[in-house]
Homo-oligomer: A and B are copies of this chain.
Amino acid sequence: MKQSVLKFGGTSVGDFNKIKNIAYMLKSRVDNGEQLVVVVSAMGKTTDSLLENISALTSRPKDEHLAMLLTTGEQQTISYLSMVLNDIGVQTKAMTGYQAGIKTVGHHLKSKIAEIDALRFETAFETNDILVVAGFQGVNDHLEITTLGRGGSDTTAVAIAASIDTSCEIYTDVEGVYGTDPRIYKEAKLLNEVSYEEMMEMSALGAGVLESRSVEIAKNYNTPLYLGRTLSNVKGTWIMPQTEILEKKAVTGVALDKHMIHVTLTYPMQNFALLQNLFDALEEQSMNVDMISQIENQQGLQLSFTIKDSEVVQIEQIIESLTEDYPHLRYKMKDNYAKLSVIGTGMRDMSGIASKAFRTLISHDIRFYQTTTSEISISYVVDRDSGETAVRTLSEAFNI
């Protein structure tokens, strides 16, 4: 029997009517001969209201206790959806992260899935047609409840799909993946197909519809991944292996990340220990550092990189603590920049993409301060103010 994994985010299950409508849609798929794993998040504002509750209790909840509290949100959603499905005649089992055999490792609030017990699903499908699984949660080696952090429910869904070797459909409040942000470039096209690699670049670079972690898992297991709007008839986007994509484009997307801080460190002489200490500290804090450029010149060492603006306090702490050992270390942080990226697996085969991109920016007087490239992307640090113009200019040039 055909099996699929579907995932619905917090907005999609935001109220009881939405839950009912989703239930009817799921039933029609079961009636057409499918068995489904349905992964859901906490309803709409549940998580926020739980967080608000604890602000009356403590300003520094222990992470382990917070994970315990927050996971009740998804547990309630799976209960509600299962009740409705059962009511309309679908044999349904609700499963928490633990019951679904989702084992995690790492920090209580930012865990990663280490292992999923596919046998649990196999067994449950013997007597049920739909398994409703709580997203965003798992259980670690000490049997403690953990959450998966940002985009966690997507990760749950993709990891389950990978473990039972089927496809994964992520339903959300966007129609799918666009070549660039339609709010910036209104002619932007909805992509029918995009490769894992391109999607990962777009996720990491701020397109923001899917966390790159989910796409990474899908890529590793060759899991076909769909992104589309909940209960919409518009066809969304399939994210799949590059080899299976029919219409190859040189450039698939243009992404803009305005939530970035550009950091420049200088030190009067080259010092590898300093660099080592810095990167150790960044890794320890699980910080996402990007666009790293390191130059040694007559003034000594110069290192630039970008971080998310939500991590500005952490980076300051890290650098301050480095200056205790390296008193001559100086740094500048700028938040008036944005990161602009041109993405496409076609870059591998087709020459001239980089030069066309540079030419386009220059001819439109868009200044850039740093450039880095990967195999399938070119990224520029530009003035934040000119970011959106740059997106439109490049989208037009590459027919996004």
Q: Would B98 and A64 count as touching, CB distance under 8 A? A: no
Contact segment of A70-78, A158-166, A285-293, A337-345: A70-78
The residue on B at minimum CB distance from A123 is B142
A83, B84: Cα distance in complex, Å: 34
A80 within 8 A of B: yes
A96 and B71 alpha carbons, distance in the complex (Å): 12
For A61, the chain B residues whose CB sits under 8 A away are 83, 86-87
0/1 interface trace, chain A 40-69, chain B, CB 8 Å (1 if under):
000000000010011011101110111011
Considering the complex, give the chain B residue whose CB is closest to the CB of A72: B72
Report A89-128 residues with CB < 8 Å from chain B CB: 92-94, 96, 98-99
| Most chain B beta carbons < 10 A, residue from A58, A68, A144 | A68
Q: How many copies does the complex hold?
A: 2
A168 within 8 A of B: no
Q: Is the CB of A64 within 8 A of B143?
A: no
Question: What range describes how many residues of A lie at the interface?
Answer: 35 or more
11 pairs, A vs B, C-beta closer than 8 Å:
A19-B57, A20-B57, A54-B80, A61-B83, A62-B82, A66-B79, A68-B78, A72-B75, A72-B79, A98-B98, A99-B144
Q: Indicate whether A145 reaches chain B with its CB closer than 8 angstroms.
A: yes
For the complex with contacts A64-B93, A65-B79, A65-B86, 17 further pairs of A-B residues with Cβ separation under 8 Å are A16-B53, A16-B56, A19-B57, A20-B57, A53-B80, A58-B83, A61-B83, A61-B86, A62-B83, A64-B94, A65-B94, A66-B79, A66-B83, A68-B79, A69-B75, A98-B143, A99-B145
Q: How far is the CA of A84 from the CA of B54 in the complex (A)?
A: 9
- Name the CB-closest residue of B to A67: B79
Of B57, B66, B80, B82, which is within 8 A of A84 by CB?
B57
A220 to chain B, nearest CB (A): 28
A82 interface neighbour in B68, B72, B83, B96, Cβ under 8 Å: B68
With the chains together, A19 CA to B86 CA distance in Å? 36
The answer to whether A72 touches B76 (Cβ under 8 A) is yes
B-side contacts of A87, CB under 8 Å: 57-58, 60-61
Could you tell me the distance between the alpha carbons of A16 and B72 in the complex, rounded to whole angstroms? 18
What's the Cα separation between A76 and B61 when bound, in Å?
A: 13
- Of A16, A57, A84, most B-chain CB atoms within 10 Å: A57
| Chain B residues within an 8 Å CB radius of A64 | 93-94
Contact for A80 among B57, B83, B99, B145, CB less than 8 A: B57
In the assembled complex, the Cα of A57 lies from the Cα of B79 at a distance in Å of: 11
Shortest distance in angstroms between A23's beta carbon and chain B's nearest beta carbon?
Answer: 9
Check if A86 sits within 8 Å of B98, measured CB to CB.
no
Task: Tell whether, in the assembled complex, residue A65 and residue B82 are in contact, meaning their CB atoms are under 8 Å apart.
Answer: yes
A76 contacts B80, CB within 8 Å?
no
Would you call A83 and B98 a contact (CB within 8 A)?
no
Q: Are B57 and A99 within 8 A (Cβ)?
A: no
Docked Cα-Cα span, A241 to B54, in Å, equals 43
Residues in B neighbouring A50, C-beta threshold 8 A: 76
- Inter-chain contacts of A69 with B (CB < 8 A): 75-76, 79-80, 83
